Structure formats: structure tokens, C-alpha cells
Amino acid sequence: MLEHGGGLRKAAAHYNIPLENWLDLSTGINPDGWPVPALSANAWHRLPENDDGLEAAAAAYYGNANLLPVAGSQAAIQLLPTLLPRAVVACISPIYSEHPQAWQRAGHKMRFLQNAMLPRALAVATPYVLLCNPNNPTGDRHPHDVAVDAAKQLKKRGGWLIIDEAFMDPTPEDSLTPLAGTDEAPNLIVLRSLGKFFGLAGARVGFVFAAPDILARMNEAMGPWAVSGPAREVARLALQDSDWQGAARPRLQAAGERLHQLLAPLGEVKSTALFATLSSAQSAELHAALARQGILTRHFDQQPLLRFGLPGDEAGWQRLSNALSAWNHS
């Protein structure tokens, strides 16, 4: 089982600091997520139904009806490699570690391209190209036009472009989701999640956008009721709440910029609206130093990277600022 952010209980036990005394910045989840209301009784008492409005709400929000709800994008990450013929996958890395593990487990061979951009990935002439956009954990972005061109080039040689857009919601204008599985890009597969921008990680709701045959095979592999009734209702309501979405985006953009500026004196920083990643030779030491003060970040063992999520309130911002200032002057 791979390690992920959010292991707060483990950290609390290791550093002997009570749970309530921690500032958890180890994930890229919006700390001010969509406010979940009381749910209908039917959501709890009836089996989930596909005509409850979720698919329609998702099609309107993402701009594409070629979709399948899944139990978090993690479910799609694990299933998708089993649905495509075994081949070589060009993986732009570092990347969310569940992706390469799933492809390797399904018998595919990986070609890891460190800190590469799409033109280099296309040059290796593999059938599949896999990436996160924005990238997790580096924060790198692949321009919209470049990604569209990549899908077209791969289509000419019978290949597939697989993109995880889990952190794309704050900048929907950069998304390729509307093209996935369409006549323009039938070989484009995009994964989306409600866990990050909407702050609904515990609901375990995501979507796959792809050609209808891929979706049909994935649906068959998942079986009935893959997403629970309460999760479907929460997702539908959140996707329909355009007022909340419109207010959240500029707020998160401002918070992301604030975090970027806070980390900039410590090394190279790349960021999104939901997290910032510091590249520093001292990333492991800083991670440990912050943890001893009850501030949990996400350290990546194979690269000198330290990822910071957003504090949820002003007290959290000040606590992080003070800790980083003390480290910078030590």
C-alpha cells in the first residue's frame, strides 16, 4: 500500500502530539470545502439510481456527457489499465504514485520521463502517454493547446492520452475534459475528482471522461452501485452550486499565491491554487522540523520535494509563517 498525504493519526503517534494540536497541510484538499447540507432520506434508504440527476449535473459542469461516475478517481486509476491492451506507457514524472503502480500491476511497461513536458513524451513514440495536469506533486502545467495537439498526434498512431485533472477545477478554462471521448479526441481519457476543489475527499466521487466503449467496459467491471446514494446526492448538489464555485475560485487563487510567496525564500517553488511544492536539498529536514511543531506536510522520498496544502484559517497561516521564518533564520 502506497503512502499518501493525510496520515495525521500516524504522525500524531510518531511525534507524540495530540491530533487536535496539528496543522495538517499534507494534502491538496480545499480546507474550506463545499458546505454539505442535510441529505434526503431516500439517499440513505434506497439503492442508488442512475437517473437521479448526477450525470446531467456532471455533464453541465464539465462540458461533456461522455462520463461515468466512479468511487473517487482512484477507482478509475486502478481499473483503466486493465481495459487497454498491454503496451509501453510514457509517464511524465514525478507523478501521483498510484498511476504507475496500477499500470505496472496490469502488465504494462513504464517509461518514466523525469520533469518532462508533452513534446518529449510524444517523441518516445509509445502508444500511451500518462500525465497529471496540473502535475501532482510538482505543480507543472501542460498548456491547453499543447495537450490538444498531443492527443491528435497520438490518435494518428493509434495511441491514447490519459490525463488526471484532479487539481484543474480552479482553472476550468485550461481543462481538456470537454474533448475527452468526442469525435475530435476519441483517444483522450480524462479523470476528474470532487475531492480537491470541492473538499469532498471523504465522499469518494470522481468521473471518467472517455469514449463510450471504454466507459461501458469500465461500468461493467465496477458492477452496480459503485457510488453510494449519499455520495451521489452530495456530488450532484455541489456540481450544481455555481455561486459557491464562482466564489471559491478567486479565493483559492489568492490563497495559492500567498502560499507561493511564503515559501519562495526557501527555494524553488511551483504552485497551483490548492498546493505549493518546494524543491530544496533540505526538504526532509524541513519536513521533520515542521512536524516537531505539529505541522504536517507531504515529503516525497525519491525527490527533494515538500508539498504544502492551504491552511484553513488565519491562525493556521500565522503558525506556518512563524515556523518557516524560524527555519529560514536558524
- 3-state SS record for 13-56: HHHCCCHHHCEECCCCCCCCCCCCCCCCHHHHHCCCCCCCCHHH
Same structural domain for residues 206 and 258?
no
Q: Give residue for cell 473538499.
A: 199
* pLDDT for the residue numbered 2: 47
Cell numbers at residue 249, please?
A: 475560485
Same structural domain for residues 203 and 83?
yes
Q: Report the distance separating Cα 136 and Cα 133, nearest Å.
A: 8
Q: Check: CB of residue 66 under 8 Å from CB of residue 216.
A: no
Q: Report the distance separating Cα 285 and Cα 282, nearest Å.
A: 5
Q: What is the pTM of this model?
A: 0.94
| Residue 100 in domain | yes
| Residue 156 in domain | yes
Instruction: Output the DSSP codes for 92-156.
Output: EES--THHHHHHHHTT-EEEEEET--HHHHHHTT-SEEEEESS-TTT-----HHHHHHHHHHHHH
Q: Over the stretch 76-95, which tens digit does the pLDDT of each residue have?
A: 999 999 999 999 999 999 99
| Residue 20 in domain | yes
Same structural domain for residues 149 and 228?
yes
DSSP conformation class of 174? G
- Which of 276, 229, 242, 282 lies closest to 256 in space, CA to CA? 276
- Which of 71, 34, 30, 84 lies closest to 243 in space, CA to CA? 34
* pLDDT for the residue numbered 329: 78
Last residue of a domain, one of 240, 265, 282: 240
CATH code of the domain containing 183: 3.40.640.10
Residue numbers of the chain with a pLDDT score lower than 70: 1-6
Angle between helices 8-15 and 283-291 (to 10 degrees): 80
Q: Give residue for cell 527555519.
A: 327
Contacts of 189 (CB under 8 A, 6+ apart): 80, 160, 161, 162, 163, 180, 181, 208, 209, 210, 214
Same structural domain for residues 218 and 311?
no
Same structural domain for residues 16 and 67?
no
Name the residue range of residue 305's domain. Answer: 8-28+243-328
DSSP conformation class of 169? T
Burial class (CB in 10 A: 0-12, 13-18, 19+), 15: middle
* pLDDT for the residue numbered 1: 47
Last residue of a domain, one of 205, 240, 275: 240
Q: Check: CB of residue 25 under 8 Å from CB of residue 320.
A: yes
Strand order in the sheet with 275-279: 268-271, 275-279, 305-309, 298-300
Contacts of 115 (CB under 8 A, 6+ apart): 93, 94, 138, 140
Same structural domain for residues 80 and 203?
yes
Cis amide prior to 134 (ω within 30 degrees): yes
CATH code of the domain containing 303: 3.90.1150.10
Same structural domain for residues 225 and 158?
yes
* pLDDT for the residue numbered 113: 92
Same structural domain for residues 251 and 173?
no
Q: Check: CB of residue 164 under 8 Å from CB of residue 96.
A: yes
| Count of domains forming the chain | 2
